[in-house]
Structure 1
Amino acid sequence: MLTFLLTSSTTHGAIIRSLDEMKVLEVPISQEGLTRIKVQNDRILHVFGNRGEYVLETDETQGQIFIRPMLLPREDLKHSPSIPLTLTTEAGFTQDLRLIPSHQAPETLILKVDTELAQELAKEKRLPLFREEVEEVIQACREERIPLGYKEVPLSLSTLEGPYLLRREIQGQKLRGLTYRAQNNSSEVLVLSEPELAHHILSRGKDKITRENRSSPLIALLISKKTLNPGEGTDVYVVVRAN
């Protein structure tokens, strides 16, 4: 399994970093000159940030950008704030940057794409998911049936842990349907939320997001009843990618 490089290297006037969508990359840039930013074997599509903090020039032909902080007096350079920037690419990657203005010569920032991550993204694009497919899996989970092309998967003991208990799983070629049981064992009203459930799913088991597997498999979820009185329970239906 390939892993991301956690350090940068500088060679021939270039700073090379690996794309890492799970973290903000901090990179020093020249205060005076234009810093070129490009993504290896990809093209920058959109740039998001506070335009009042920098001067930006785009090269749409090559899919790269040139950026320079707004000029400040030399004595104020050490107080110059960092520049938060978010880039999206044609291949579907998103990268958050924190650019640190400093008194140095302009260099090129090259963002490298992890080979395995690029292959996973290309695979996802070759297997488009349609709304009807996702809705069919949700409905099959609610009716506790197995759709054509799916099979029921035995559950491991590790899934029998709260606060959400996985009680059923079906798997097809592209999608998996999961049925969780949420139970309010407290003496107060419990309000369920999609973000909390998503965090629970993506932080454990086979769907856990790790440094080696950073592509979120979560596609859709449905909470049957969001507000649970003490002693009440409800089912939660989730659709994730099979691979």
Structure 2
Amino acid sequence: MDDTINFQDLFKKSALHLDAFRTVSYIDVLLGLITSLGVGLFIFYIYRKTFRGVVYSYNYNAAFVLMCMITSMIIMTISSNIVLSLGMVGALSIVRFRTAVKDPLDIVYMFWSIAGGIATGAKLYPVALIGSLVIGLVLLWLSRRKVREQPYLLIIRHSEDATTELRVRMRKIEHTLRSKTIRKDFVELTVELRMRDNNTSFVHDISSIEGVMDVSLINYTGDYAQ
């Protein structure tokens, strides 16, 4: 007698036992969801603590918590039956994410929340808890080791009469010219500079030059399109 079970037999057996998931322990389900919630809240805290962008998005951060819990629920579902797992793969294949991710670290947090959900859904609670703790400590350490210099964009709009004096003042500041727009009535300069502290006295010095219309200093944390 051939005791070999091929994929077709396994599929039929799985299809005939669709009620197998009814034996899932409610305690295990609640424990998995609560653990994934704890991991997600820890990711929420680390993201808020280490955020270095311009505008913090609460909804974007809260999505990591829900992503971790939903992933855990998916893993618990597909682990009970092969038919359900194939159906889940087919359903997820039609999902398309079109949200642009500007910061590469945001992708890291996405994978972290998904990995936490997979670990809790598979009942690997030590992996989820210890792994998340180590990753969180590493991210906190890297955020403190980050160079304190912050990039800024200095936008100056001036007339032609202020060009000479403005060049003299700008030589005292380490900067990189990013763009120069010449119009009929004024010239607009955009330069990139880095600051270690909040000393912005040079902005008032530049704005006091005769012929300078306005000066704007903007914190810059993205890729500059040249």
Higher-strand-fraction structure: 1
TM-score (norm 2): 0.28
Higher-helix-fraction structure: 2
TM-score (norm 1): 0.27
Query: Greater CA radius of gyration, 1 or 2?
Result: 2
